[in-house]
């Protein structure tokens, strides 16, 4: 199964992210993510089997035992890809606590021989894909207020023509 580890978002924060996405949907064209897909990826694992998923669960338990809840501080919009076909995301401030959490998770995965995508961690919440950006800057947007993430989850990702759907397989509470 195709998997990744992410922070789940508090409901009030999700509401405000959805509000931001609504504002953006009047300014750019693209495939906006459904609200229930919002998350903050810490490590993309790709295909894993049963035995590996047990190791990932052990890694999450270990992380939860040593890491506190983390602040989510919306900072700016950002993109991956080309301006006429990009992924549009809400970037979060790289606080020490958030970067330490991602480091700790990756250390625990390394210890158990679990491979993951090693690109540098850039905390973000994906809002839309296949986005065509306008030439003019995106202005007048209301960003979500800062909040706190408390739950770390292993997700299964299923790809289909309608886009990916994500199912939580195992969660731990931080702190
Ligand atoms: O959290 P976001 O939406 O940025 O883009 C995929 C999504 O990230 C990313 O993992 C999350 C859940 O699917 N993803 C998919 N394939 C990936 C890969 N090969 C990947 N990240 C890194 N490497």
Tens of pLDDT along 12-22? 999 999 999 99
Backbone angles phi, psi at 145, to 5 degrees: -75, 155
Cβ 41 under 6 angstroms from ligand 1: yes
What per-residue confidence (pLDDT) applies to 162? 84
pLDDT at 175 over 90: no
Q: How far apart are CA 42 and CA 109, in angstroms?
A: 11
> Could you write out the DSSP letters of every residue in 133-164?
--SS---SPPPPPPEEE-EEEEEEEE--TT--
Average pLDDT over residues 131-143: 95
For ligand 1, atom 7, the nearest C-alpha belongs to 41
Alpha-carbon distances of 174 from 17, 78, 158, rounded to whole Å: 22, 27, 26
Whole-number Å distance, alpha carbon 101 to ligand 1 midpoint, is 18
Tens of pLDDT along 79-136? 999 999 999 999 999 999 999 999 999 999 999 999 999 999 999 999 999 999 999 9
Mean pLDDT of the chain: 97
Going by DSSP bridges, is the β-strand pair 85-92/2-7 parallel, antiparallel, or unpaired? Answer: unpaired
Backbone angles phi, psi at 19, to 5 degrees: -65, -45
What per-residue confidence (pLDDT) applies to 163? 86
CB 3, CB 56: distance < 8 Å: yes
Whole-number Å distance, alpha carbon 75 to ligand 1 midpoint, is 20
Ligand 1 atom showing the smallest separation from residue 6 Cα: 1
Please name the residues in contact with 57: beta carbons below 8 A apart, sequence gap of 6 or more: 154, 170
What per-residue confidence (pLDDT) applies to 128? 98
């Amino acid at each position: 199964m195709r998997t990744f580890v992410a922070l789940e978002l508090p409901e009030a924060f999700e509401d405000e992210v959805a509000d931001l996405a609504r504002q953006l949907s009047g300014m750019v064209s693209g495939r906006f993510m459904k609200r229930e897909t919002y998350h903050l990826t810490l490590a993309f694992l790709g295909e894993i089997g049963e035995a590996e998923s047990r190791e990932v669960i052990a890694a999450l338990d270990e992380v939860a035992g040593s890491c506190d809840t983390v602040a989510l501080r919306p900072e700016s919009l950002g993109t991956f890809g080309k301006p006429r076909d990009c992924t549009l995301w809400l970037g979060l401030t790289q606080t020490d606590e958030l970067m330490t959490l991602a480091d700790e998770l990756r250390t625990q995965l390394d210890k158990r021989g679990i491979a993951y995508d090693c690109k540098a961690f850039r905390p973000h919440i994906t809002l839309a894909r296949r986005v065509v950006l306008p030439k003019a800057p995106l202005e007048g947007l209301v960003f979500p207020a800062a909040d706190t993430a408390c739950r770390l989850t292993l997700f299964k990702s299923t790809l289909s023509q309608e886009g990916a759907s994500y199912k939580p397989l195992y969660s731990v509470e931080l702190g």
